[in-house]
Structure 1
Amino acid sequence: MEFCPTCGNMLQFELPNMGKSSRFFCPTCPYVSYLENRVKIKRKQHLVKKELEPIISDDDMKNAAQTEATCPNCAFGKAAFIQIQLRSADEPATTFYKCMNENCRQNWRED
């Protein structure tokens, strides 16, 4: 979004037409800004993904209570769970589960 330096109104964009280059123009005053046909990239910056920290660590789940919940990954019938209030107080708590099957150890949650 560009604004006119003389009157402050939002500039409108006009596509190239009949040999004229594209431009920004002000609908209220005679200001016109022509655009270059080429885009120059000055520098490339590589994005690096940050490592996400888990909300519930394995140490938290070691001391957690156990319940009869079915794992969505392996259908095992026992899971450890912790309830945490993530949203506002009038919303229900979020329950985090961890499968107790030694081969699975899948984590899931229910809001």
Structure 2
Amino acid sequence: MEFCPTCGNMLQFELPHMGRAARFFCPTCPYVCYLENRVKIKRKQHLVKKEIEPIFSQDDLKNAPKTEVTCPKCGHGMAAYKTMQTRSADEPETILYACLGDNCRHTWRD
């Protein structure tokens, strides 16, 4: 992405047409930057995945309050829960559950 040095808007790319070279131009001001035919615009950016942090750590499971709710995966009747404000302040909190079944540890939200 290139930006206009005059007004700061993102420049648009225009292909060569009727003998005119390819160019970047600003849609709001008269700035134009012509490109030579030998120039190839090619950038690759490798994306790195972030590690996914678990919702509940082992300490959280031990110390979190528990409630009677049925796990949708295994049907166990107890789960640990915690609440988080994931949206704007005028929206309700999100309740995150973690199943306390022996082999399940499934997490879901409500």
- Structure whose CA Rg is larger: 1
In the alignment, residue 99 of structure 2 is paired with which amino acid? C
Matched, 1:39 2:36: no
User: Residues 24, 100 of structure 1: CA spacing in aligned structure 2 closer, same or farther, 3 A cutoff?
Assistant: closer
Q: Distance in 2 between matches of 1:28 and 1:66?
A: 61
Corresponding residue for 1:92?
Answer: 92
User: Residues 24, 99 of structure 1: CA spacing in aligned structure 2 closer, same or farther, 3 A cutoff?
Assistant: closer
Answer yes or no: is the 8 Å Cα contact 1:76–1:101 preserved in 2.
yes
What are the ranges of 5 or more consecutive residues in structure 2 without an aligned counterpart? none
Indicate the SS of the match to 2:59: helix
Q: Distance in 2 between matches of 1:80 and 1:28?
A: 58
Q: Distance in 2 between matches of 1:106 and 1:46?
A: 32
Matched, 1:64 2:68: no
TM-score when normalising by structure 1: 0.62
Corresponding residue for 1:80?
Answer: 80
Q: Render the CA deviation track for 1:40-81: whole Å, top value 9, x for unaligned.
A: 558x65433232333432211112232221212223222122
How many residue pairs get aligned? The number is 105
Corresponding residue for 1:51?
Answer: 51
Answer yes or no: is the 8 Å Cα contact 1:61–1:82 preserved in 2.
no
Identity %: 57
User: Residues 12, 77 of structure 1: CA spacing in aligned structure 2 closer, same or farther, 3 A cutoff?
Assistant: closer
Measured on the aligned residues, the alpha-carbon RMSD in Å equals 3.5
TM-superposed deviation, 1:92: 2.9
Corresponding residue for 2:22?
Answer: 22
TM-score when normalising by structure 2: 0.62
Q: Distance in 2 between matches of 1:95 and 1:75?
A: 18
What are the ranges of 5 or more consecutive residues in structure 1 without an aligned counterpart? none
